[in-house]
A and B are shown apart, each in its own frame.
Chain A
Amino acid sequence: MTRTAFTLEAVEWDPWLAPVEAETATPAQRAALDASPQANSAYFRTLAHDVDSLAERSPLFHSVMYVPRGLKRAERELATVVVSIINGCVYCSSVHARRFAELTKQPEVIRALYDQGLDTALPPRLRAIVDYAAKLTRAPVAMTVADLKPLREVGMDDLEILDLTNAAAMFANANRLMQTLGEPIVPETSS
């Protein structure tokens, strides 16, 4: 996976299994899809094949990303972009990079991560978030209490660290679904 595949443009997703169709969905599938971020997307209609797991995952995902208080939404989005870059998930990184850019008006942070890698120069708080999310992705069981120190040094409280953990962990999950049940279609004009 080369870094140049990652984009701030919108990316489509092509499923490898025929998704559940709205006309033939069971009531349970319809309910689970209605509780998902985009009921009509091919991705969620593919997940609807196993309706009980989708019905649990959608509210889990929603709470991890959007529950009030704690870690700022933009910082959760940043963590998910870092995880998606490491795992090579072009689709996930595109969606959440755009959310970060919308929330912060700082697309340059994403461009720097894409073009220069995760070691690019960043303000201390973003640096600490990137490092924690990266290590939790690459080598979770190698982490020690010392890995919390940079987060504490930029002022993070327990709830923020829990939210950061949950967001990074959620994309260990999301990347494994998105990349193994279909593939991204990247627009040719993407930069």
Chain B
Amino acid sequence: MAELATGTDLLDAIVGVAPGSALAALRAQRPEILRHSQGSHDVLLSPDDLGGLSLAERALVARLVAELAGHVALTAHYQALVDARGGLPDGPRVAAILAHAERLAIAPGSATRQHLAALQAVGLQARDIVALAQLVAFVAYQVRVAVGLALLAQEKAA
């Protein structure tokens, strides 16, 4: 359940956009955005080449960002992904990754050069640090698109 079937659009699933609905037709007017929103999700959550950031770490980060934003459905989705990937033992590496993810999610303007050094100290390479930032930034984007789509859906249902 946690890993989406190939061809499934996560935002459609989260918002409940039914095939053939007015909202599906609206979204279809922006095909590149659909393709690369889902594509961003796929390469950040389930990349072919993980680099130094594991599948479980990626799922944990996404869950945290969705949870901090208060988005119930996305949090549940990523929690299921965490569970499917077996979770992770607590430790300094995961703590450092999650602390950085929280900072980027809540107060991106407070990040400093020293925070990247702290990630390097627990073994992250430049590529992993960029992937971590991209992942947090993607979920922040995804939450807001999901909210906007849901508002349009609610308005049409009213």
Contact = CB atoms under 8 A, between A and B. Distances in A.
Interface of A: 1, 16-18, 46-47, 49-50, 52-57, 59-60, 62-64, 67, 69-70, 87-89, 136-137, 140-141, 143-145, 147-148, 158-159, 161-166, 168-170, 172-177, 179-181, 183
Interface in B86-135: 103-105, 108-109, 111, 113, 115-116, 126-131, 133-135
Contacts of A162: 26-27, 29-30, 148-149, 152
Contacts of B108: 87-89, 175-176, 179-180
A161 B26 CA distance: 10
Nearest to B127: A49
Contact of B36 (A49, A57, A168): A57
B140 A56 contact: no
Given A52-B43, A53-B43, A180-B111, A169 B133 contact: no
B113 A176 contact: no
B111 A56 contact: no
Nearest to A14: B113
B141 A170 contact: yes
B2 interface: no
Contacts of A1: 109
Contacts of B32: 59-60, 62-63, 67
Given A17-B116, A60-B36, A173-B141, A161 B148 contact: yes
Contacts of B115: 180
Interface string B21-49: 01000110110110111011001100111
Q: Which among B22, B116, B145 has the highest number of chain A CB atoms within 10 Å?
A: B145
B152 to A, nearest CB: 6
B133 A177 contact: yes
A129 to B, nearest CB: 13
17 contacts: A17-B129, A47-B134, A53-B135, A53-B138, A136-B147, A145-B151, A161-B152, A162-B27, A166-B33, A169-B141, A169-B145, A174-B137, A175-B108, A176-B108, A176-B133, A180-B111, A183-B113
B109 A88 contact: yes
A172 B144 contact: yes
A170 B136 CA distance: 12
B126 A67 contact: no
B154 interface: yes
Contacts of B137: 172-174, 176-177
A53 B134 contact: yes
A59 B151 contact: no
Contacts of B1: none
Contacts of A64: 33
Given A52-B47, A159-B26, A159-B29, A176 B140 contact: yes
